[in-house]
Structure 1
Amino acid sequence: MLEVNAPVGNIFLDEGFDELKKGNFERLKLSRMELEKRILRRKGDRGTDIGLKLDPGVKLRHGDVINNGDMKIVVEQLPEKVISIRLKTKNMVDVMVLLGHIIGNRHRPISIQREEISFPIQADAEKEVFTKLFQSIINDIEMRVEEQVFSPSTGADVHEH
């Protein structure tokens, strides 16, 4: 079993992993919740038994590289359902404040990318719930459900219910 205390880098953020970008590597596929854990045991997609016993303060992220001797293993976060929202008109401060207030009251982590805010959901049916919650601003926003690798914005890390 391969025991891992910390990643050796990240395929997306660090140089020196050009060979890995060609795709010839084993993958350790984990959910966002599993990435939060310090101790975990899983198998890679090629059968390598991997035991995570991460050093204090170390968290795995999408794209982290684990060293297995000559072979490297890349951590891949599994996509999850999210609601993505975009304002139909820019600079609508009242709509932005209400949007933040409603999502915040549901204790959802958020991701802000360009002019879009996203947050994870468990099922497509939650779109109906949020449509009702956003009733007063529904004509001012575009909302869709999609699957993506969700990474909360730093500083917007909240506990989920």
Structure 2
Amino acid sequence: MLNPNTLTETAALLAQMQERDLTLATAESCTGGLIGGALTAIAGSSATVLGGFITYSNGMKQKVLGVPAAMLKEFGAVSEPVARAMAEGALRESGADIAVACTGIAGPGGGGPGKPVGLVHMAAARKGRATIHLRQVFPGDREAVRAATVDAALGLVRQQMEG
């Protein structure tokens, strides 16, 4: 379940984006559409949110977002380069002004050496600006990791909007 403040903060973010005539797209792996769900839970979000990509598998990351197979092989799906490539792919494919992406290990399994359960890489891309990245290891169960990822990812959108 999302943090109760998430929808309030999301509504404020969308209002600011609408005031600036900015559009947004998402590329999600570990959240499986939860970021897009938080955004579209807000009435009028269609003025800002163009759409989203749920790219859970490596094949979809490659096919839909253009993440290079060599990058996935070298760094793994849960990595900074892949998060950046996902955000940039979503920006390119959607035509949005800003795109946010996340890839991680929500658990309860899947973690390993150097990549613990709760590890999430997020990135936000904006036309004409450098893509920004955030690495977090969130505590808690699968639901908590996914909810924390939504909040952090929307924070990256805010940074790209303001920066």
Q: Name the one with the larger helix percent.
A: 2
Q: Name the one with the larger strand percent.
A: 1
Q: Could you say which TM-score interval applies, normalised by the shorter chain? A: under 0.3
Structure with higher Rg: it is 1
**TM-score, normalization by structure 2:** 0.22
